[in-house]
Amino acid sequence: MAADAAHEWSGYAPETNTADYAPPSGHPQTTDQDYLVSWNNKQAKDYGAADGNFSFGAVHRGDLLDAPIRAALAGGGRLDRAGTARIVAEAATVDLRGRRVLPDLLRVIESAQVYSR
């Protein structure tokens, strides 16, 4: 995208560093959630332009955060800053395909007899 006036925020005023911002009521809303997890995931439905430049599949990096957080909080558990940082650090350094996709692929490979020619 070009960095020119045509691509500035709507109503951008450089002298005051303000713009026409969407009101809070126009942002995605959540209810009855104990926590929010996001790691460059797909935009919320009907909010903004999901322009197809990225591949949004069933597996997102957010899953690498959500599953361990959910496990830590199960049964009334709590997370402190160190526990949260540990989960985030692991999610940041784990290969998503190795963690989420490879086990399924190995199960498929191991479930069939191998034939040689």
Q: What is the pLDDT of residues 33-52, one digit of tens each?
A: 888 887 765 555 555 544 44
In 3-state terms, what secondary structure has residue 68?
helix
Domain ranges of the chain: 36-44+59-110
pTM: 0.53
Distance from C-alpha of 3 to C-alpha of 5, rounded to nearest angstrom: 7
**For the chain, where are the alpha helices, taking DSSP H only?**
62-73, 81-93, 96, 102-110
DSSP secondary structure, 77-93, as one string: ----HHHHHHHHHHHHH
Q: pLDDT band for position 70 (50/70/90)?
A: very high
pLDDT at 87: 92
Distance from C-alpha of 20 to C-alpha of 11, rounded to nearest angstrom: 5
Q: What is the pLDDT of residues 87-112, one digit of tens each?
A: 989 988 887 778 878 999 999 999 98
**Predicted confidence (pLDDT) at residue 15 exceeds the cutoff of 90:** yes
Q: pLDDT band for position 32 (50/70/90)?
A: confident
**φ, ψ of residue 19 in degrees (nearest 5):** -155, 175
How far lies 82's CA from each of 32, 87, 111, in Å? Answer: 25, 9, 40
Beta strands in the chain (DSSP E): none
